Structure 1
Amino acid sequence: MEERKKFTFSRRGFIRTSALAGGGILLGVNFLNACKESAQPPVNIANLNFKEFNAFIKIAENGYVTIFSPNPEIGQGVKTSMPMLIAEELDVPWEHVTVEQAGLDTENFTRQVAGGSQSIRHGWEPLRQTGAIAKQMLIQAAAARWEVEPYTCTASNGVITNQAGKQLGYGDVVNDAALLPVPENAVLKDPKDFKIIGKDAINVDVHKIVTGQPLYGLDYTAPGMKYASVLRPPAFGQTLKSFDASEAKKVGGVIDVLKFGDKVAVIANNTWAAMKGKHKLTAQWNDTTLESTEDHDAKLNAILNGSKFEVRREDGNVNSAFSEADSVIERTYESPFLPHNCMEPMNFYANVTAERIHLVGPIQTPAGTAKRIAHVLERDEKEIDLEMTRMGGGFGRRLYGDFAEEAALISNGAKLPIKVVFSREDDMAAGTYRPAIKYRIKAALKDGKVTAYHLKEAAINSNMYGLIPHFFPAGAIKNYKVETGNYQSNITTGAWRAPYTNFLAFAEQSFFDEIAKELAIDPVKLRMDLLDNVNDGEDERIEYSAARMKETIKLAAEKGNWGKAAENVYQGFAAYYSHNTHVAEVVDITLQNGFPKVEKVTVAVDCGIVVNPTGAINQVEGGVIDGIGHAMYGNFAFDNGKPKATNFDAYRLIRMNETPKVETYFVENNLSPTGLGEPGLPPAGGALANAITAATGKRMLTQPFIEHFNTDTREVRG
Structure 2
Amino acid sequence: MTPSKQITFSRRSFLKTSTLASGGMLIGFNLFNACKPEAKVPIDLSQLNYNDFNAYIKISKEGKVTIFSPNPEIGQGVKTSMPMIIAEELDVAWEDVYVVQAPLDTENYTRQVAGGSQSIRFSWQALRQTGATAKQMLVNAAAAKWGVDASECSVAKGIITNAKGEKLGYGDVVLEAAALEVPENVTLKAPKDFTIIGKGAGNVDIDKIVTGKPLFGLDYKEEGMLYASVLRPPAFGQVLESFDDIATRALPGVVDVIVIGEKARAYLEGSKKKSWTAQLSKSDKVVVIAKTTWDAIKGKRAIKAIWKNDSELESTESHDKLLLDLLEGETFKTRRKDGNVKKAFANADKVLERIYESPFLPHNCMEPMNFFANVTSEKVHLVGPVQTPAEAAKVVSGLLDRKLEDIHIEMTRMGGGFGRRLYGDFVYEVAEISNAIKKPVKMVSTREDDMTTGVYRPATKYKIAASIKDGKLTGYHLKEASINGNMYGLIPNFFPAAALENYQVDTANYKSNITTGAWRAPYTNFLASAEQSFFDELAEVLEVDRVQLHLDLLENVKKNPEPNIEYSPERLQGVIKKVVDKSNWGKTEAGVYQGFSVYYCHNTHVAEVADIIMDNGSPIVKKVTCAVDCGIVVNPLGAMNQIKGGVIDGIGHAMYSDFGFNNGVPQSNNFSTYQLIRMAQTPKVDVHFIENDIDPTGLGEPTLPPVGAAVANAIYKATGKRLTKQPYMSNLDLEKVVG
Q: Residue 625 of structure 1 aligns with which residue?
A: 648
Matched, 1:603 2:626: yes
8 Å CA contact retained: 2:70, 2:109:
no
Aligned partner of 1:217 in structure 2 is 217
* Contact preservation (8 Å) 2:498, 2:563: no
Distance between the aligned counterparts of 2:622 and 2:308, measured in 1?
A: 50
Is the contact between residue 114 and residue 387 of structure 2 (CA under 8 Å) also seen in structure 1? yes
Among candidates 331, 350, 353, match of residue 354 of structure 2: 331
Q: Is the 8 A contact 1:30 1:126 kept in 2?
A: no
Question: Which residue in the other structure is 1:24 paired with?
Answer: none
1:480 matched to 2:500? The reply is: no
Identify the match of residue 286 of structure 2 among 244, 247, 264: 264
> Is contact 2:481-2:508 (8 Å) kept?
yes
Are 2:441 and 1:418 aligned?
yes
Q: Does 1:401 align with 2:412?
A: no
Which of the numbers 293, 296, 301 marks the counterpart of 1:274?
Answer: 296
Query: More deviation in 466-475 or 229-238?
Result: 466-475
Distance in 2, Cα, partners of 1:134 & 1:538: 44
Cα gap change, 1:30 to 1:176, in 2 (>3 Å)? farther
Match of 2:457 in 1: 434
TM-score by length of 2: 0.91
Correspondence 1:652 to 2:675: yes
On the 8 A contact 2:234/2:665 being kept in 1, the answer is: yes
- Aligned match of 1:451 in 474, 484, 487? 474
User: Contact 1:9–1:129 at 8 Å: present in 2 too?
Assistant: no
Relative to structure 1, the CA distance from residue 54 to residue 470 in structure 2 (aligned partners, 3 Å threshold; closer, same or farther) is farther
Cα deviation digits, residues 627-668 of structure 1 (max 9, x gap): 000000011011111111000000000000000000000001
| Cα distance between partner residues in 2 of 1:222 and 1:465 | 42
* Corresponding residue number in structure 2 for 1:321: 344
Residue 224 of structure 1 deviates from its aligned partner by 1.3
How far is the alpha carbon of 1:55 from its aligned partner?
Answer: 4.8
Q: After the TM superposition, which of the residue ranges 526-535 and 581-590 deviates more from structure 2?
A: 526-535
CA apart distance, 1:145: 1.7
SS in 2 for 1:534: helix
TM-score between the two structures when normalised by the length of structure 1: 0.94
Aligned partners of 2:612 and 2:715 also within 8 Å: yes
Partner residue of 2:369 out of 317, 321, 346: 346
- Where does residue 124 of structure 1 map in the other structure? 124
Q: Using the alignment, how far apart are the partners of 1:397 and 1:165 within structure 2?
A: 55
Alpha-carbon distance, 1:141 to partner:
1.5
> 2 CA distance for matches of 1:71 and 1:600?
33
Give the alignment of 1:499-514 within 5 angstroms: 499-514=522-537
State the shift of 1:53 in Å. 11
Q: How many residues align?
A: 696
Letter in 2 for 1:276: K
- The alpha-carbon deviation at position 172 of structure 1 amounts to 2.2
Measured after TM superposition, the shift of residue 124 of structure 1 is: 1.1
CA distance in 2, matches of 1:254, 1:367: 33
Contact 1:345 1:421 in 2 (8 A): yes
Distance 1:587 1:318 in 2: 33
RMSD: 2.2
CA contact (8 A) 2:72 2:413 kept: yes
Q: Which runs of 5+ in 1 are unaligned?
A: 17-27, 43-49
Q: How far has the Cα of 1:143 moved from its partner?
A: 1.3
Which residue matches 2:551? 528
Tell me which moved more, 201-210 or 169-178. 169-178
- Judge conservation of contact 2:487–2:523 (CA < 8 Å) in 1: no
126 and 107 in structure 1: CA distance in 2 versus 1, 3 angstrom threshold: closer
Deviation at 1:355, TM superposition (A): 2.0
Partner of 1:47: none
Residue 418 (structure 1) shift: 1.2
Please say if residues 464 and 494 of structure 1, whose CA atoms lie closer than 8 Å, have aligned partners that are also in contact: no
Alignment partners' CA distance in 1, 2:55 and 2:608: 38
In 1, Cα distance between equivalents of 2:210 and 2:108:
34
Give matches, 1:153-164, under 5 Å.
153-164=153-164
Counterparts of 1:682 and 1:630, CA distance in 2: 11
The equivalent residue for 1:698 is 721
Equivalent residue letter for 2:71: N
**Which position in structure 2 is the counterpart of 1:249?**
249
Cα deviation digits, residues 667-702 of structure 1 (max 9, x gap): 011111001000000000010000000100000010
Structure 2 residue aligned with 1:22: none
Indicate conservation of the 8 Å contact 1:300/1:438, yes or no.
Answer: yes
Q: 1:66 aligns to what?
A: 66
Maintained 8 Å contact 2:657/2:727: yes
Contact residue 30 and residue 54 of structure 1 kept, 8 A: no
Which amino acid is the alignment partner of residue 236 of structure 2? Answer: F
2:690 equivalent to 1:663: no
Structure 1 residue 185: Cα displacement: 1.6
Instruction: For residue 130 of structure 1, report the CA deviation from its aligned partner.
Output: 0.9
The residue that corresponds to 1:493 in the other structure is 516
- Larger displacement relative to structure 2 (139-148 or 113-122): 139-148
Distance 1:69 1:394 in 2: 18
Report the secondary structure of 2:241's partner residue. strand
Structure 1: distance between partners of 2:94 and 2:469: 59
- Is 1:381 aligned to 2:404, yes or no? yes
Displacement of 1:357:
0.5
Structure 1 moving runs of 4+ over 6 Å: 28-32, 39-42
Distance 1:395-1:310 versus aligned 2 partners, 3 A rule: same
Deviations 1:354-411 (A, max 9, x none): 2211000000000001111111111111111110000000000000000010101111
Contact 1:29 1:54 in 2 (8 A): no
Amino acid at match of 2:416: G
**Partner of 1:135 in structure 2?**
135
Percent sequence identity is: 63
Shift in Å at residue 413 of structure 1? Answer: 1.0
- Report deviation, 1:333: 0.2
SS, match of residue 663 in structure 1? strand
**Who is 2:572 aligned against?**
549
Q: Which moved more, 1:273-282 or 1:169-178?
A: 169-178
Equivalent-residue separation in structure 2 for 1:166 and 1:265 (angstroms): 67
Structure 2 SS opposite 1:391: coil
Show CA shifts across 1:315-339 (max 9, x none).
0001111111121100000000000
Q: Please name the residue that 2:584 is paired with.
A: 561
| TM-superposed deviation, 1:61 | 1.2
**What is the alpha-carbon distance in structure 2 between the residues aligned to residue 441 and residue 253 of structure 1?**
57
What SS is found at the alignment partner of 2:669?
coil
8 Å CA contact 1:708–1:716 kept in 2: the answer is: no
Q: Quickly say closer, same or farther: Cα 1:147–1:537, change in 2 above 3 A.
A: farther
Query: Structure 1 residues 551 and 135, CA, compared in 2 at 3 Å: closer, same or farther?
Result: same
Give yes or no for contact 1:608–1:669 (8 Å, CA) kept in 2: yes
Contact 2:388–2:421 (8 Å) recurs in 1: yes
Per the alignment, residue 114 of structure 1 pairs with 114
Task: Note if contact 1:53-1:105 (Cα within 8 Å) is conserved in structure 2.
Answer: no
CA distance in 2, matches of 1:465, 1:290: 27
Q: Does 1:88 align with 2:88?
A: yes
Once the two structures are superposed, what CA deviation does each residue of 1:563-588 show, in whole Å capped at 9, x if it has no partner? 11110000000000000000000000
Which SS does the other structure have where 2:138 is aligned? helix
1:513 touches 1:690 (CA, 8 Å); kept in 2? yes
Letter in 1 for 2:191: P
For the Cα contact (< 8 Å) 1:595–1:715, is it kept in 2?
no
SS in 2 for 1:197: coil
SS in 1 for 2:233: coil
Please list the CA deviations of residues 529-567 of structure 1 after superposition, one character each: whole Å capped at 9, or x if unmatched.
111101288436200000010011000010011111110
The answer as to whether partners of 2:557 and 2:563 remain within 8 angstroms in 1 is: no
Tell me what 1:677 maps to: 700
